């Protein structure tokens, strides 16, 4: 077993488990390859992030059913972060110290940001999906299989400006996702000639936002950018419409939770997000869509698709390490290999590579909710 140095003193008080982290284990060659996954399985965004677990488990099951990796199966351990920074520290610490997983898949920005220092200290690999805060970029041992807000924000700003809007109000959840959305959108918006007339926030758990909505109404924007996750977004959108705000609503990375929670109030909401091409005919894209549809747990989409991809990326890194005569159970080996990885895009049937900032360039869609469903108006590649 290859032991790594213990975590830094700054995290000592937060860690709930003691001891040094183990980066994999050479052990028995037939011992399953261990994979960690830290996802908000409880808390305000759990209804959205459960689909990441479904995508991960589907990929693991398909790989194992096909014989694993040279006969060796994958074993995934899930930990609940509750969507919080504290939960991210606890989950990452457990996966690295107890489960000895050389690679961990995460979802949501706050827990991912808190887990990254542990990945760096132990030289293990952290791959996040559906996490888009600008603060996630250019961090050691962290790679982001998502188009970052630094690219999504300007795209949304340009789209809304081209529609004739000039005065925007922000209504954002107070966390790295909401803050990152505002910070990425604002410079692009102002450069185009638009102005920000109001900026309001609310807790990530949502709740009553009537006070914030009153201030937005008084500011009189011609478009409102609402940033939240899943059903929390839907609840806020529903309150906005109930309060009589009729300005167009928009934001980044909406999910089905918007439509579930907001109902008819979601009609017309515009967003920019990764999109799935249901006609993509690559073997991996078809395998993903058919497999996820068979689960009967909702439709295949960008969120469960990127989680599915992350497992296949792990498989690819293991195979590359073996080919090069390196230890595939050593997180530092996987971390060295990932920068040059080129993996399957199951959403579009293409290939994905990581950019120098550790994020990806992928096709995204500018969408509108129409008749209770997302309709893609235009697809562009977010460079």
Per-residue pLDDT of the chain (383 residues; tens, 9 = 90+): 333 333 333 333 344 333 444 444 444 568 999 999 999 999 888 878 899 999 999 999 999 999 999 999 999 999 999 999 999 999 999 999 999 999 999 999 999 999 999 999 999 999 999 899 999 999 999 999 999 999 999 999 999 999 999 999 999 999 999 999 999 999 999 999 999 999 999 999 899 999 999 999 999 999 999 999 889 999 999 999 999 999 999 999 998 889 999 999 999 999 999 999 999 999 999 999 999 999 998 889 999 999 999 999 999 999 999 999 999 999 999 999 999 999 999 999 999 999 999 999 999 999 999 999 999 999 998 87
Q: How far apart are CA 226 and CA 234, in angstroms?
A: 10
Measured CA to CA, the distance from residue 98 to residue 95 in angstroms comes to 6
Q: CB–CB of 194/161 below 8 Å?
A: yes
Domain ranges of the chain: 9-146+279-361, 150-276+365-382
What residue has token string 């457990």?
94
Single pTM value for the model: 0.87
The C-alpha atoms of residue 247 and residue 250 are separated, in whole angstroms, by 10
Same fold, 9-146+279-361 and 150-276+365-382: yes
What is the Cα–Cα distance from 244 to 217, expressed in whole angstroms? 9
Determine the CATH number of domain 150-276+365-382.
3.40.50.2300
Rounded to whole angstroms, the Cα distance separating 270 from 284 reads 29
Fold of 9-146+279-361: Rossmann fold (3.40.50)
């Amino acid at each position: 077993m290859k032991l790594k140095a213990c975590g830094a003193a700054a995290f000592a008080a937060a860690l709930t488990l003691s001891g040094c982290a183990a980066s994999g284990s050479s052990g028995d060659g037939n011992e399953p390859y261990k994979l960690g996954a830290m996802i908000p399985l409880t808390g305000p965004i759990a209804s959205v992030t459960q689909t990441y677990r479904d995508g991960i488990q589907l990929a693991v099951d398909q790989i194992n059913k096909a014989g694993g990796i040279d006969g060796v199966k994958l074993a995934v351990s899930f930990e609940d972060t509750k969507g919080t920074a504290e939960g991210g520290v606890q989950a990452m610490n457990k996966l690295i110290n107890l489960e000895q997983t050389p690679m961990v898949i995460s979802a949501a920005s706050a827990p991912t940001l808190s887990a990254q220092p542990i990945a760096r200290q132990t030289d293990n690999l952290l791959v996040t999906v559906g996490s888009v805060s600008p603060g996630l970029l250019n961090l050691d041992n962290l790679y982001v299989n998502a188009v970052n807000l630094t690219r999504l924000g300007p795209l949304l700003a340009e789209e809304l400006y081209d529609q004739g809007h000039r005065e925007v109000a922000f209504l954002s959840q107070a966390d790295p996702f909401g803050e990152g959305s505002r910070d990425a959108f604002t410079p692009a918006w102002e450069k185009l000639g638009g102005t920000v007339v109001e900026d309001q926030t609310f807790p990530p758990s949502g709740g009553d936002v009537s006070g914030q909505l009153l201030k937005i109404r008084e500011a009189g924007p011609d478009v409102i950018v609402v940033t939240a996750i899943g059903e929390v977004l839907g609840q806020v959108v529903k309150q906005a419409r109930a309060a009589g705000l009729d300005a167009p609503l928009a934001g980044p990375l909406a999910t089905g939770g918007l439509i579930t929670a907001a109902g008819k109030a979601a009609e017309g909401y515009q967003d920019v997000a990764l999109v799935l091409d249901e006609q993509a005919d690559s073997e991996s894209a078809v395998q993903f869509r058919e497999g996820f549809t068979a689960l009967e747990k909702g439709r295949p989409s960008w969120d469960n698709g990127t989680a599915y991809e992350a497992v296949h990326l792990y498989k690819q890194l293991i195979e590359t390490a073996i080919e090069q005569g390196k230890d595939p159970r050593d997180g530092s080996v996987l971390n060295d290999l990932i920068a040059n990885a080129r993996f399957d895009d199951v959403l579009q049937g293409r290939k994905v590579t990581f950019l120098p900032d550790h994020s990806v360039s992928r096709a995204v869609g500018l969408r509108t909710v129409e008749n209770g469903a997302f309709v893609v108006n235009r697809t562009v590649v977010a460079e």
